[in-house]
Chains A and B, each alone.
Chain A
Amino acid sequence: MSVLPLIIKREFISKVRNKSFIVMTFLGPLLIVAMTALIAYLSKANEGEVKKIAIYDEAGIFKNDFKNSQEIVYVDLSSMPFKTAKDTASNSYEGMIYVPKVADIQELATKTEYISDDSPRMEFLMEIEAVINAKLSKNNLQELGFDSDKIEKAKVKSDVRVSKFSGEEGLKYLNEIKIGIGFLFGYLIMMFIIIYGNMVMRSVIEEKTNRIIEIIISSVKPFQLMMGKIIGTSLAGILQFIVWILLGLGLMFVLTLFGASQADLSTTTAQMQPEQMEMATGLLGKIQLYLNEIPTITLFLFFILYFIGGYFLYSSLYAAIGAAVDSETDSQQFLLPIIMPLMLGVYVGFFTVMNDPHGTVATIFSMIPLTSPIVMLMRIPFGVPWWQIALSIAILFGSFLGIVWFASKIYRVGILMYGKKPTWKELFKWLKY
């Protein structure tokens, strides 16, 4: 009888029975929901806060141009002596906009100051600048003899329709949605690799520290043990992911029900509902349209393929590292070269694919096996030539075989080495044993 199913079964059961695994499986989604709720609550709580900003307008030009908003209240202190106003502002105001008296109103473009001990947000400064710009531009126009109201009327706001040569209507912001979806899948693969790769590594280290490893490999081949470990752990991981997704969906359902009932209470008028329904169906239709534009099935298919290739590639490296070291703390120096390409895949992928999905950098990174599972998935929504996908997958699975061979060599030697932290040089020497 083949021993591989036995090993897979043991690894799976020992992972699933582990207390921290159970806790994480059921608490994970709760934690994430709780975090989201907390962040939402905190940002809401921040909203209620009103900032008071003083205005000291010696020129008497802008006093009425700064409009109060939900977050900011402007108070005019121009009637006070400057010194008193400054003290008042520094004591009980967030900051003070100081408009000096000038000969030419245009000088205000550069001479207006914002005085505050806190460094202001960029948006806030831009808001102030926008007010000044508008006022001064209007002033300029008037001096030049233009009627600013007419100019305002003459302004046009365009909305370009996107369509295809076939005549069907195109969708705006499709690229952003595509990169979003690609990023999501890429990120998912990265997270899975890091979480469950680490789990594989820990399980290898555990067998070493328990000193059971030599007993086991006197019965089975190290390669079988390594593969059994990787497969068993990934099955446990997939189970955990499924539970997370189901729990997450359930929680979301509960929350929306809760939210909807609250919304019902606030909008007691029943007439609103048909409108809302219409909006909802409209939105659903839109989503349907977008989904039609994205090669969903292809994407899902390749997600699975790249997921398998990427996960096996990386987790065999994790297994090799686990075999080479004696404890988890020793593993850091070897982990860095693994995490780096993963990070590189996500971030380089994100920025280059967004700019140009078929550019040289994106294409190269979607071929390198260590980054291709992430980068190629980001590119696929934009339509990648078949030969490129085929080549990338061929490279991925080809190097997968190579790396598994390499990892199992290190694994074979490493699991029998105790008590010393190997160097890179020694690891390469092990390949020849």
Chain B
Amino acid sequence: MNSILEVHNVVKQYGDYTALNSVSLSVPKGSIYGLLGPNGAGKTSLIRIINQITMPDGGEVILDGEKLAPKHVQYIGYMPEERGLYKTMKVGEQCMYLAQLKGISEADAKKQLKYWFEKFEIESWWNKKIQELSKGMAQKVQFIVTVLHQPKLLILDEPFSGFDPVNANLIKDEIIELNKKGTSVIFSTHRMESVEEMCDHIALIHKSNKLIEGKLIDVKKEHRTNAYEVGILSSNVERLMYDLTQKFQLQQTDFKSLNDELKIEVQLNGSAPNELLHILTQNGQVTHFVEKIPSINDIFIKTVTNK
């Protein structure tokens, strides 16, 4: 089995409103999968179905080769967007309780808890109540609770909202480490640029429909525009511009640079990059030459407006 999770034609309706319109997905084992889309696209509805919080009105979900069943809650670690903990319950007891609810034994829960508490150096918090902790401290506990039962699949809904930068980085590192050990991760977010660097697969959801799905790199390749950002220090700008406009379409652009150079975006129109480079080197000193890679946000907007 190559997929940890497969979603087949899942439909979810709330009254007259269709939250998911026959959505299918496939999350490869060991991947970091970005479930992207604006607010209200249906991400949380889908995640709740995967977590068996709500039932789909149609379609099916396959987890690790088996049809989704109550026993699978143990395999999933879920950090919802709306999250919190019992304020008046002690940290240790709370973690034990939540881990046991997931179905692991008291002894295993204790062992895992010890591991994580030592890792985050928070052993002294065991008998503290959540309300005595700072928000940042509570966030660490929140993360531990999510991964305590060693899930095969980690589902994080808007994971970095509400985390301060230090904790966000810490959590990010932990997630990457868990991923390296074999845990598959699903990120759900509307801030598409924020997880671009971590995800290797993405799916774009918009208005209850899946628009795009695939390896991040393939998606980007498919939507590449063959445009290059060029920075050049030229003594003969007129000549340069003349040469360029003969072959390519030009556009003004801007990027950060330490030089006072000419900044242009060049559309290759099927030519090879070397042809552009050749013209450039003849006319001045090239300081910047980069293919313009479309951001997920650009791809999303383009896809939505084209439809």
> CB < 8 Å: which of A1, A214, A221, A412 contacts B83?
A214
Contact with A along B65-103 (1 / 0, CB 8 A): 000001001001011101111111100000001101111
> CB < 8 Å: which of A220, A412, A433 contacts B15?
A433
Contact yes or no, A215 B86, CB < 8 A: no
Give Cα distance in the complex from A7 to B102, angstroms.
12
Give Cα distance in the complex from A207 to B101, angstroms.
15
Q: List A213-246 residues whose CB lies under 8 Å from chain B.
A: 214-221
Given the interface pairs A1-B103, A6-B97, A6-B101, the reply to whether A218 lies near B73 with Cβ below 8 Å is yes
Contact with B along A398-426 (1 / 0, CB 8 A): 00000000000000100010100000000
On chain B, the residues within 8 Å of A214 by CB distance are 53, 78, 80, 82-83
Q: A1-B103, A220-B101 given. 13 additional CB < 8 A pairs?
A: A10-B97, A210-B84, A210-B85, A211-B82, A214-B53, A215-B80, A215-B145, A218-B78, A218-B80, A219-B102, A220-B73, A432-B15, A433-B15
By size class, the interface of chain B is 20 to 34
> CB < 8 Å: which of B53, B87, B102 contacts A210?
B87
The answer to whether the Cβ of A14 comes within 8 Å of any Cβ in the partner chain is yes
Contact yes or no, B86 A210, CB < 8 A: yes
* Residue among A217, A221, A416, A418 with max Cβ neighbours from chain B (10 Å): A217
Nearest residue (CB) in B for A3 is B101
On chain A, the residues within 8 Å of B145 by CB distance are 215
Contact yes or no, B87 A215, CB < 8 A: no
Nearest residue (CB) in B for A2 is B103
Contact yes or no, B89 A14, CB < 8 A: yes
What is the count of residue pairs linking A and B with beta-carbon distances less than 8 angstroms? 66
Q: Please give the distance in Å from B236's CB to the nearest CB on chain A.
A: 63
On chain A, the residues within 8 Å of B76 by CB distance are 218
Give Cα distance in the complex from A3 to B70, angstroms.
12
> CB < 8 Å: which of A7, A207, A212, A218 contacts B53?
A218
On chain A, the residues within 8 Å of B103 by CB distance are 1, 3, 219
Contact yes or no, B98 A215, CB < 8 A: yes
Q: List A22-52 residues whose CB lies under 8 Å from chain B.
A: none
Contact yes or no, B15 A429, CB < 8 A: yes
Given the interface pairs A3-B101, A6-B100, A215-B83, the reply to whether A14 lies near B53 with Cβ below 8 Å is no
Given the interface pairs A3-B101, A6-B97, A433-B15, the reply to whether A217 lies near B86 with Cβ below 8 Å is no
On chain B, the residues within 8 Å of A432 by CB distance are 15
On chain B, the residues within 8 Å of A219 by CB distance are 73, 98, 101-103
Contact with B along A379-404 (1 / 0, CB 8 A): 00000000000000000000000000
Contact yes or no, B83 A211, CB < 8 A: yes
Nearest residue (CB) in B for A429 is B15
Contact yes or no, A212 B86, CB < 8 A: yes
B residues neighboring A (CB under 8 Å): 14-15, 48, 51-54, 70, 73, 76, 78-80, 82-89, 97-98, 100-103, 145-146
Contact yes or no, A212 B83, CB < 8 A: yes
* Residue among A6, A7, A219 with max Cβ neighbours from chain B (10 Å): A219
Q: Please give the distance in Å from B139's CB to the nearest CB on chain A.
A: 12
On chain B, the residues within 8 Å of A210 by CB distance are 84-87
Contact yes or no, A216 B101, CB < 8 A: yes
> CB < 8 Å: which of A18, A218, A412 contacts B51?
A218
A-B CB contact pairs (8 Å), 8 listed: A10-B97, A214-B80, A215-B98, A218-B52, A220-B101, A416-B53, A432-B15, A433-B54
On chain B, the residues within 8 Å of A206 by CB distance are 86
Q: Please give the distance in Å from B161's CB to the nearest CB on chain A.
A: 13
Q: List A159-202 residues whose CB lies under 8 Å from chain B.
A: none
Q: Please give the distance in Å from B69's CB to the nearest CB on chain A.
A: 13
On chain B, the residues within 8 Å of A215 by CB distance are 78-80, 83, 98, 145-146
Contact with B along A289-308 (1 / 0, CB 8 A): 00000000000000000000
Give Cα distance in the complex from A206 to B145, angstroms.
19
Give Cα distance in the complex from A216 to B97, angstroms.
10
> CB < 8 Å: which of B82, B88, B98 contacts A418?
B82
Q: Please give the distance in Å from B64's CB to the nearest CB on chain A.
A: 17
* Residue among A10, A215, A217, A429 with max Cβ neighbours from chain B (10 Å): A215
Give Cα distance in the complex from A218 to B76, angstroms.
9
Nearest residue (CB) in A for B14 is A433
Nearest residue (CB) in A for B51 is A218
Give Cα distance in the complex from A65 to B82, angstroms.
82
Give Cα distance in the complex from A2 to B49, angstroms.
22
On chain A, the residues within 8 Å of B146 by CB distance are 215
On chain B, the residues within 8 Å of A18 by CB distance are 88
Nearest residue (CB) in B for A207 is B86
On chain B, the residues within 8 Å of A418 by CB distance are 82
Give Cα distance in the complex from A313 to B79, angstroms.
33
Q: Please give the distance in Å from A333's CB to the nearest CB on chain B.
A: 22
Contact yes or no, A216 B89, CB < 8 A: no
Nearest residue (CB) in B for A219 is B101
Give Cα distance in the complex from A211 to B88, angstroms.
13
On chain A, the residues within 8 Å of B98 by CB distance are 215-216, 219
Q: Please give the distance in Å from B294's CB to the nearest CB on chain A.
A: 34
Sorted nearest first, the 6 A-B pairs with minimum C-beta distance are A211-B84, A214-B80, A219-B101, A218-B51, A210-B84, A218-B78
On chain B, the residues within 8 Å of A220 by CB distance are 73, 101
Q: Please give the distance in Å from B240's CB to the nearest CB on chain A.
A: 58
Q: Please give the distance in Å from B212's CB to the nearest CB on chain A.
A: 27
Q: Please give the distance in Å from B158's CB to the nearest CB on chain A.
A: 12
On chain A, the residues within 8 Å of B14 by CB distance are 433
On chain A, the residues within 8 Å of B85 by CB distance are 210, 212
Give Cα distance in the complex from A206 to B87, angstroms.
9
Q: Please give the distance in Å from A197's CB to the nearest CB on chain B.
A: 21
Q: List A348-371 residues whose CB lies under 8 Å from chain B.
A: none
On chain A, the residues within 8 Å of B101 by CB distance are 3, 6-7, 216, 219-220
* Residue among A214, A412, A433 with max Cβ neighbours from chain B (10 Å): A214
On chain A, the residues within 8 Å of B87 by CB distance are 210
Nearest residue (CB) in B for A216 is B101
Give Cα distance in the complex from A210 to B130, angstroms.
11
On chain A, the residues within 8 Å of B83 by CB distance are 211-212, 214-215
On chain B, the residues within 8 Å of A221 by CB distance are 70
Q: Please give the distance in Å from B128's CB to the nearest CB on chain A.
A: 15
On chain A, the residues within 8 Å of B15 by CB distance are 429, 432-433
Contact yes or no, A14 B100, CB < 8 A: no
Give Cα distance in the complex from A219 to B97, angstroms.
11
Give Cα distance in the complex from A433 to B54, angstroms.
9
Q: Please give the distance in Å from A231's CB to the nearest CB on chain B.
A: 16
Q: Please give the distance in Å from B109's CB to the nearest CB on chain A.
A: 11
